[in-house]
Amino acid sequence: MDDAAIAALAGSPWLAPALFALVVGDAFLVVLPSETAVVALGALWASTGAPAVWLIVAVAAAGAVCGDGLCYLIGRRVGLERWRWQREGRAGAAIARARDAVHRRTAVLVFTARYVPFARIAVNLAAGAGGVPLARYLPLSLGAGIAWAGFNTAVGAIVGRALGDQPLAAVAVSIPVAIGLGLAVDRLVGALDARRRTG
């Protein structure tokens, strides 16, 4: 893939629907690279001017709110223990912690979990299963989705600006930056959570 192919991708009419589907899917399948895609598109915008930055943020935020909202509804209808993956492993441990804290710290959990894949699923399921009112949950989810989309787009834009007229390089560099930031946030949230539980 070269700079011309990257520029053509930026103008594709399928880009927005594909980004939306990717972000919604990432609410359930943490292996989907939605953060990476948003960062890469931010880098692409900064180096080529397309796709429009408002489109990236709006579509990513809408996908985040829809995906998280679907998890909330699943939690409300299904609960937290029907499937084995909800009771075991990393997802099960995250769900157990989220269930205990979701009413006391709803805003903090919804905002921070948006940046941590397993915590994101756990908090949204726990909010639904725990009966957090939709009128309270939805504005928090909307705020978290917009903040997440804006943050990831801004990270990509900083990389794209630094690399100027090299869209392929901007996208290539922004991907490891996105992964590194995601790992750092995951570790920071995990360390703070462990400290809170032992302190």
pLDDT, tens digit (0-9, with 9 covering 90-100), for 20-43: 999 999 888 877 778 888 988 988
Q: Are 122 and 25 in contact (CB under 8 A)?
A: no
pLDDT at residue 23 in the model: 95
Best CA proximity match to 33, nearest among 185, 182, 187: 182
Q: How many helices (H) and strands (E) does the chain have?
A: 10, 0
Question: Dihedral sign, CA of 193, 89, 94, 174?
Answer: positive
Dmax over Cα atoms in the chain, in whole Å?
Answer: 54
Question: Dihedral sign, CA of 116, 120, 121, 126?
Answer: positive
pLDDT at residue 47 in the model: 81
| Every domain of the chain and the residues it spans | 3-198
Q: Are 148 and 114 in contact (CB under 8 A)?
A: yes
Mean pLDDT per block of 10 residues along the chain (199 residues) reads: 67 90 89 84 85 94 96 87 70 71 81 81 87 91 93 87 69 67 65 66
How far is 31 from 33, CA to CA, in rounded Å?
A: 6
Q: Are 84 and 197 in contact (CB under 8 A)?
A: no
